[in-house]
Amino acid sequence: MRPRGRGRVRLAWLLPLGALIIAGYAGWQAWGHTGPRIKVHFDQGFGLRVGDVLRHRGIPVGEVKKLALADDREGVHVELLLDHAARDLAREGSLFWVVRPKIGWGGITGLDTLAGARYLDVLPGEGEPQNEFDGLEDTPITALCPPGGLEIIVQAAARGGIRPGSQVTYRQLPIGRVVTTGLSTDAGMIEMRVYIDPPFTALIRQRTCFWETSGVTFKVGLKDGVKLGFDSPEALLSGALAVATP
């Protein structure tokens, strides 16, 4: 006769062993699909919560895992866990910012967060791998520039009302934006780095002229009287750089 309890003893050992194997496999799968953990420092938390997502090109690529005050209480540390496929976003030069509703010099952004949670966005850098970053307070102008456009330098005697984010217009149609403004190397002129969107690059030629417009036109005539015209709201807020091509 065979002992009846031996099969039960074997089964009692096999069940936890199988559970351990399954748990180990699941852990290995999770580890293989998880990217690096990074830390981004912001001056303010902007309403972020644990579980909010990091997006790139409109899709989730990571998640907020921890929020904490900086040791000197002068800012907030946001810890993010990147997806494995997005691990290359953790590089020197990458720009991180919190997307939120805002009306600024670059226009109106972040309206999708009015009805939903805050989220972070990232513009990838090309440097060495890095795990700590300083976050931006606003959406960078370069994030609003579609690829394939034309970058030019426009010089002027004075900046006037032009600033980063100001529109570039052709016949009151937006065709680009001002990315940066600053002094030339000899401090004799103002240099504006301007980005022209892809469909309009052919408008920029050797004799193309640029001038500042406030977004308001005012005409007085004997026949038509007084006429007041307005450009886009963005031009009214931050001025615009108008373009004419002979």
Q: How far apart are CA 169 and CA 107, in angstroms?
A: 14
Strands 132-134 vs 34-42: parallel, antiparallel or unpaired? parallel
**Per-residue model confidence (pLDDT) at position 165:** 86
**Per-residue model confidence (pLDDT) at position 105:** 47
Give the closest residue to 171 by CA, choosing from 108, 228, 226, 245. 245
Using CB atoms within 10 Å of the CB of residue 15, give its burial: 0 to 12 exposed, 13 to 18 middle, 19+ buried.
Answer: exposed
Q: How far apart are CA 67 and CA 65, in angstroms?
A: 7
Asked if the model's pLDDT at residue 221 lies above 80, the reply is no
**169-179 pLDDT, tens per residue?**
999 899 999 99
Read off the pLDDT band of 138 (50, 70, 90): confident
Read off the pLDDT band of 230 (50, 70, 90): very low
Q: Extract the tokens encoding 93.
A: 């030069």
Mean pLDDT, all residues of the chain: 80
The one-letter amino acid at 187 = A
**85-129 pLDDT, tens per residue?**
999 999 999 999 998 766 554 455 544 444 556 899 999 999 999
Q: What percent of the chain has pLDDT over 90?
A: 49
**Per-residue model confidence (pLDDT) at position 175:** 94
Q: Are 164 and 181 in contact (CB under 8 A)?
A: yes
Read off the pLDDT band of 222 (50, 70, 90): very low
**Per-residue model confidence (pLDDT) at position 117:** 63
